[in-house]
Amino acid sequence: MDIKLAHPSKTTPEDLKQLANLSAVMLQKIRDEMLEPFPRKEAPLIPSGRLQELCGIDKTRMNRSLKKGDLPQGQQSRPGAVRYFSLSEAMQWIRAELKPVPRRGPGKVIAVANFKGGVTKTTMSTLLCQGLSLRRGRKVCHVDLDPQGSATTLYGINPHAEVSSENTIMPLIEAYLAGESFDMRGLPQETYWPNLDLIPSSTELFNAEFMLPARATAEEGHIPFERVLSNGLDSLKDEYDYIILDTAPTLSYLTINAIFAADGVIVPVVPDTLAFASMVQFWQLFSDLVTGMEEQSEGSKKEFDFLDVLMTRMEKKNAPRLVADWIRGVYGSRVLPIEIPETDLARNSSIQFRTVYDLSSSEANTETMRRIRQPCDEFVDYVDDKVSALWQGIEE
Ligand SMILES: Nc1ncnc2c1ncn2[C@@H]1O[C@H](COP(=O)(O)OP(=O)(O)O)[C@@H](O)[C@H]1O
Ligand SMILES: [Mg+2]
């Protein structure tokens, strides 16, 4: 039987090349328009009401501290108008008023992972970075380990045009292949968000997938390929309170490295049946992976400080609730008592390469903003409370 194709002409490699070029040009154009003035993002200002919330103080207390004059005064358009603080100013207030538990010992590495795409790994890892610095004054390094570079994009950086291989973690991998050591301290770059640095990604990170296993089989007596990142990150743990790893939606060598390097793992899940089914595979592979690590490292166990499931993109409907109940039934207390709702605000802000923490208070009505921000705040606080408890447990 003859099947007639809708498009009689064939798609040639030249056509594909043209498509690739067109889409790259289009993306650059969209980004330029979204990120005016070109091309950097700006951190939002914090109004005094939100700063009071962040510091856990009331208006009277804030006024008293303002009068004392030790803390930044912020800015008012005229006397009596709302006072706005820059993020760095807000962080000074938080350190002074909220007094977060200081880090003891090395910074914590947290990987956000799930082999499925679209479960908000990138969104939640970026929110976690922003939130830890904003809400707790932490110094954070975000490492983008997804060759697609979505997290890098959220910082207003074009992974194709503005990031070269040397800016990513590739030099670490190349040094490993050459049998040399590499100091990662030169890699993190400052971002538009104070106290939050980024090691960006570019498509060249795909090469790591071929390079890492090549060395693994080449000779004996060197560190196993899955520990390259873990070893490298050691040099950053004195400088950062947190190192947050955004991973690709595949069980790639980089993802394996991320899991091996992690002290804690956050697994975002969305409540739909197919995603639930794919989680079964995730746990199987994850468990095989960690068991494999244990065997290779001659009995020394790979343990995590925490491994939590975060339910995201929760809709108010019945079907997702049912799946959420299954998830809770299976994963029990590993499921965080926080649900990130599916909201238009979160979806729309990501179209403009922004997270809900990038929005200023005037960009949505208070209730709409609170609905998505509050659970994000709770998630960030949950992570920092957990880690703070670990730091407090370390003898001075
Ligand atoms: N709370 C939310 N409500 C609605 N859409 C969301 C929410 N959080 C993220 N998204 C959207 O979900 C999509 C996938 O998110 P992303 O963080 O890129 O996932 P992943 O990194 O797991 O592939 C993005 O288009 C993002 O805009
Ligand atoms: Mg992603």
Express each pLDDT in 379-394 by its tens digit: 999 999 999 999 998 8
Least confident of 44-48, 54-58, 110-114, 209-213: 209-213
Q: Domain check: are 328 and 304 in the same one?
A: yes
Q: Domain check: are 262 and 141 in the same one?
A: yes
- Mean pLDDT along residues 129-136: 97
Predicted confidence (pLDDT) per residue in 36-76, tens digit:
555 578 899 999 999 999 999 999 999 999 999 999 999 99
Q: Domain check: are 211 and 63 in the same one?
A: no
The chain-wide mean pLDDT, for the chain, equals 89
Q: Best substitution site from 247, 255, 350, 376 to test ligand 1's pocket, by max atoms within 8 Å of Cβ?
A: 350
Predicted confidence (pLDDT) per residue in 250-295, tens digit:
888 999 999 999 999 999 999 888 888 888 888 888 888 888 776 6
- Contact at 8 Å (CB) between 187 and 167? yes
| 26 within a domain of the structure (yes/no) | no
**Alpha helices, DSSP H, located in the chain:** 13-34, 48-55, 59-68, 87-97, 121-136, 150-154, 170-177, 208-218, 228-233, 253-261, 273-296, 318-331, 344-351, 366-392
Domain span holding position 230 = 108-392
Q: Domain check: are 145 and 177 in the same one?
A: yes
Percent of the chain residues topping a pLDDT of 90: 61
**End of a domain among 37, 62, 97?**
97
Q: Is the CB of 123 under 6 A from ligand 1?
A: yes
Q: Domain check: are 362 and 255 in the same one?
A: yes
| 8 within a domain of the structure (yes/no) | no
Predicted confidence (pLDDT) per residue in 348-362, tens digit:
988 888 999 999 888
Separation of CA 118 and ligand 2 centre (Å) = 7
pLDDT at 175: 92
Domain containing 173 — which CATH number? 3.40.50.300
Instruction: Flag whether pLDDT at 35 surpasses 70.
Output: no
| 35 within a domain of the structure (yes/no) | no
| 11 within a domain of the structure (yes/no) | no
Nearest Cα residue to atom 15 of ligand 1? 120
Q: What is the number of domains present in the chain?
A: 2
Write phi, then psi, for 157 (nearest 5 degrees).
-110, 135
pLDDT at 1: 47
Q: Domain check: are 83 and 176 in the same one?
A: no
Q: Is the CB of 150 under 6 A from ligand 1?
A: yes
Q: Is the CB of 350 under 6 A from ligand 1?
A: yes
| 210 within a domain of the structure (yes/no) | yes
Q: Domain check: are 287 and 310 in the same one?
A: yes
Separation of CA 281 and ligand 1 centre (Å) = 21
Predicted confidence (pLDDT) per residue in 134-145, tens digit:
999 999 999 999
